[in-house]
């Protein structure tokens, strides 16, 4: 992962000092709440239902063991012993005191971590493919570019007060695991006809109140021009994005109003004035950043494969885990190990301090000190030698983190919802817990196969419900919780937005409704069809009929 140097550390130290001063001015009344709010938000500090919530950045979802232990220590010392991994590859602490926040920032900085720009109308944490550097279908590691974007966007003087928040995702692989089509800017590394690697640039994707699939405004951008081009996009957005209505302030609305051709014209005109200038990324500069990603030197190791193949004889549970939760690595003899933070009946994405510490140890012992956070609220050990898998599996099982449910019914993503969040209209986590418990039987889950349920407690769509195979959106009706259900969303290539299956369903019936929908799939499906395939083939109408019949 990226290694901080003295300059990165000096920057964070300065930032902590600034924030300490701002908090002191707030506590003594020099700053009013109105003046302080944007300042605390730019440091990831929200005021939620029960306390302050601190959102710590996990840049492009990458942590090492030392950082995971630092997060665990914060959970123990300043919070209630756990943290919540989010759909933005970040971690949130739900029970923070404002007076402690500067000390927490200092503790984070000591582990080369921060909470800068995890909120506010600025460029947020850049997300990436969680299998970066390990995936077999990868053209180039996106994290180097994420880090360059992180540096460029950190306390950018021109783009710290945008019309609205701004999210960028980067993928370097053929399969899109970073949902780049649903970001304000999505970047796909690809190789052109001349064999040169550059970026496809998508603009104006997003979820929330108005879900939109991003449009390609430049099919191939030379790497050296990445920042100049991003700055051109930001400049057009900062000047022309709407500020009269927060629900119409994202860049997707501007792109829609202008049309993607006019957007492209304006961006390219702005880029003309910037290209080749002081934002140009010369290869030596990129190499310098890349050199700070001291990735593990993995040696192809074909021998242990046999040992792994033999292990099912020892324990069928290991085989199920191996098949469900691990993926082939680019280097033979290694696997990518996914760790769903979705034990049956547990709040999605929560991890206790003890789990974080144990995972830090496991990452150092078996995983080349590399841990990833996924936008599906799971963790990943991206580089594990096959020969180490049995021992790792036993250790994970002891932590309750070896449930073989990756991508299955119980691998639900859910926002904090009304249990924690001031914006929510309905609860999310208890719905996730109830669905997970109803489908606890793993054999049943495996029979149902790949099915991604996403539950948001309000239209802001933090859990990306629009792109869930089953999307669940909490709404309020006369003081009661109801849930709108959509079917057929998909975040990756072949991106689609789910279609509403019928009227909102009262909370008491939402789990049964999910069960009815899944029963419908099992009845309709053809051999080999996933849930999404069946929905796409038959449409939502047959599901609606079943729901109506059951209501």
Which 50-69 positions form the footprint of another protein (CB under 8 A)?
50-52
Residue 347 binds another protein, judged by CB under 8 A: yes
74 or 532: CB nearest another protein: 74
Judged by phi (left if over 0) then psi (alpha if -120 to 50, else beta), residue 436 lies in alpha
* CA within 13 Å, CB half, 275: 14
Total residue length of the chain: 551
- Return the bridge partners of 206, or none: 212
Residue 271 binds another protein, judged by CB under 8 A: no
Report which of 138, 172, 128 is spatially closest to residue 2, judged by C-alpha positions.
Answer: 128
Among 295, 345, 387, 449, binds another protein (CB under 8 A): 345
Among 278, 297, 302, 526, binds another protein (CB under 8 A): 278
Among 302, 479, 527, 528, binds another protein (CB under 8 A): 479
Number of residues that bind another protein (CB under 8 A): 86
91 or 135: CB nearest another protein: 91
Helix (H, G, I), strand (E, B) or coil at 541: helix
Taking CB under 8 A as the criterion, which residues in 489-548 touch another protein? none
Taking the complex as a whole, the smallest distance from the CB of residue 181 to another protein amounts, in Å, to: 27
Among 29, 195, 527, 528, binds another protein (CB under 8 A): 29
Taking the complex as a whole, the smallest distance from the CB of residue 312 to another protein amounts, in Å, to: 26
Taking CB under 8 A as the criterion, which residues in 187-206 touch another protein? none
Taking the complex as a whole, the smallest distance from the CB of residue 54 to another protein amounts, in Å, to: 10
With contacts defined by CB under 8 A, name the span among 49-57, 195-203, 329-337, 484-492 that binds another protein. 49-57
Taking CB under 8 A as the criterion, which residues in 417-436 touch another protein? 418-420, 424-427, 429-430, 433
Other C-beta atoms closer than 10 Å to the C-beta of 444 total: 14
Residue 9 binds another protein, judged by CB under 8 A: no
Taking the complex as a whole, the smallest distance from the CB of residue 232 to another protein amounts, in Å, to: 11
With contacts defined by CB under 8 A, name the span among 107-115, 295-303, 351-359, 496-504 that binds another protein. 351-359
Q: Which residues contact 89 (CB under 8 A, 6 or more apart)?
A: 58, 60, 61, 125, 127, 128, 130, 373, 374, 375
Q: What kind and span of H or E run contains 84?
A: strand 82-85
Q: In what order do the strands lie in the sheet with 215-222?
A: 127-128, 168-171, 185-191, 197-203, 215-222
Residue 460 binds another protein, judged by CB under 8 A: no
| Per-residue CA distances from 161 to 18, 117, 166, 237 (Å) | 18, 11, 11, 11
* CA within 13 Å, CB half, 201: 22
With contacts defined by CB under 8 A, name the span among 191-199, 258-266, 329-337, 342-350 that binds another protein. 342-350
Among 47, 110, 317, 331, binds another protein (CB under 8 A): 47
Taking CB under 8 A as the criterion, which residues in 376-405 touch another protein? 399-401
Residue 129 DSSP one-character state: -
Task: Evaluate the CA torsion angle 113, 114, 115, 118 in order and state its sign.
Answer: negative
Helix (H, G, I), strand (E, B) or coil at 171: strand
348 or 491: CB nearest another protein: 348
**299 phi, psi to nearest 5 deg:** -100, 130
**Contact 20/43 with Cβ under 8 angstroms?**
no
Taking CB under 8 A as the criterion, which residues in 85-144 touch another protein? 96-99, 121
194 or 282: CB nearest another protein: 282
246 or 503: CB nearest another protein: 246
Binding mask 204-233 for another protein (x = CB under 8 A): -----------------------x------
Taking the complex as a whole, the smallest distance from the CB of residue 329 to another protein amounts, in Å, to: 27
Residue 299 DSSP one-character state: P
180 or 226: CB nearest another protein: 226
Helix (H, G, I), strand (E, B) or coil at 454: strand
How many angstroms from the chain centroid is the CA of residue 88? Answer: 3
Residue 2 binds another protein, judged by CB under 8 A: no
Q: In what order do the strands lie in the sheet with 45-47?
A: 45-47, 52-56, 91-96, 82-85, 350-352
409 or 501: CB nearest another protein: 409
Strands (E), 243-361: 326-328, 334-339, 350-352
- Distance, CA of 118 to CA of 115 (rounded, Å): 6
Distance from first CA to last CA of the chain, Å, rounded?
Answer: 52
Residue 154 binds another protein, judged by CB under 8 A: yes
291 or 494: CB nearest another protein: 291
Taking the complex as a whole, the smallest distance from the CB of residue 307 to another protein amounts, in Å, to: 30
Binding mask 312-341 for another protein (x = CB under 8 A): -----------------------------x
Taking the complex as a whole, the smallest distance from the CB of residue 45 to another protein amounts, in Å, to: 9
With contacts defined by CB under 8 A, name the span among 125-133, 156-164, 487-495, 532-540 that binds another protein. 156-164
- Distance, CA of 131 to CA of 133 (rounded, Å): 6
Residue 27 binds another protein, judged by CB under 8 A: yes
425 or 516: CB nearest another protein: 425
- Distance, CA of 231 to CA of 116 (rounded, Å): 19
């Amino acid at each position: 992962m990226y290694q901080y140097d003295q300059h990165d550390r000096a920057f964070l130290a300065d930032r902590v000092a600034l924030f300490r001063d701002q908090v002191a001015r707030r506590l003594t009344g020099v700053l009013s709440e109105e003046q302080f709010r944007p300042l605390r938000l730019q440091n990831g500090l929200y005021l939620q239902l029960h306390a302050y919530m601190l959102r710590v950045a996990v840049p492009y979802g990458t942590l090492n063991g030392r950082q995971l232990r630092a997060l665990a220590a914060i959970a123990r010392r300043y919070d209630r012993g756990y943290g919540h991994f989010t759909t933005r590859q970040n971690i949130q602490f739900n029970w923070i005191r404002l007076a402690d926040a500067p000390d927490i920032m200092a503790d984070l900085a000591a582990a080369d971590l921060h909470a800068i720009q995890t909120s506010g109308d600025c460029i947020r944490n850049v997300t990436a493919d969680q299998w970066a550097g390990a995936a077999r279908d990868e053209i180039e590691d996106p994290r180097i570019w994420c880090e360059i974007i992180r540096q460029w966007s950190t306390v950018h003087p021109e783009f710290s007060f945008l019309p609205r928040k701004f999210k960028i995702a980067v993928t370097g692989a053929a399969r899109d695991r970073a949902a780049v089509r649903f970001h304000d800017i999505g970047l796909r590394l690809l190789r052109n006809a001349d064999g040169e690697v550059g970026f496809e640039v998508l603009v104006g994707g997003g979820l929330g109140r108005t879900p939109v699939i991003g449009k390609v405004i430049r099919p191939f951008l030379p790497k050296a021009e990445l920042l100049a081009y991003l700055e051109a996009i930001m400049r057009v957005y900062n000047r022309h994005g709407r500020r009269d209505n927060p629900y119409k302030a994202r860049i997707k609305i501007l792109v829609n109003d202008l049309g993607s051709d006019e957007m492209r014209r304006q961006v390219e005109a702005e880029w003309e004035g910037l290209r080749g200038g002081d934002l140009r990324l010369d290869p030596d500069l990129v190499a310098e950043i890349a050199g700070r990603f001291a990735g593990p030197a993995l040696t192809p190791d074909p021998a242990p494969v046999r040992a792994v193949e033999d292990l099912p004889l020892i324990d069928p549970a290991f085989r199920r885990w191996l098949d469900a939760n691990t993926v082939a690595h680019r280097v033979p003899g290694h696997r990518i190990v996914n760790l769903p933070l979705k034990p049956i009946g547990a709040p999605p994405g929560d991890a206790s301090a003890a789990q974080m510490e144990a995972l830090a140890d496991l990452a150092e012992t078996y995983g080349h000190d590399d841990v990833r956070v996924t936008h599906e609220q799971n963790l990943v050990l991206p580089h594990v030698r096959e020969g180490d898998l049995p021992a790792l599996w036993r250790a994970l099982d002891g932590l309750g983190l070896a449930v073989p449910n990756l991508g299955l019914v119980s691998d639900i993503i859910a926002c904090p919802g009304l249990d924690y969040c001031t914006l929510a209209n309905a609860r999310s986590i208890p719905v996730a817990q109830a669905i997970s418990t109803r489908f606890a039987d793993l054999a049943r889950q495996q029979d149902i196969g790949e099915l991604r349920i996403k539950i948001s407690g309000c239209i802001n769509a933090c859990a990306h419900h629009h792109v869930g195979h089953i999307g669940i959106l909490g709404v309020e009706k006369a003081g009661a919780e109801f849930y709108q259900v959509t079917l057929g969303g998909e975040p990756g290539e072949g991106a689609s937005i789910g279609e509403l299956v019928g009227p909102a369903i009262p909370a008491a019936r939402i789990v049964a409704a999910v069960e009815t929908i899944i029963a419908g799939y099992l009845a309709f499906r053809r051999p080999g069809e996933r849930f999404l395939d069946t929905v796409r083939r038959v449409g939502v109408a047959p599901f609606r009929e079943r729901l109506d019949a059951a209501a």
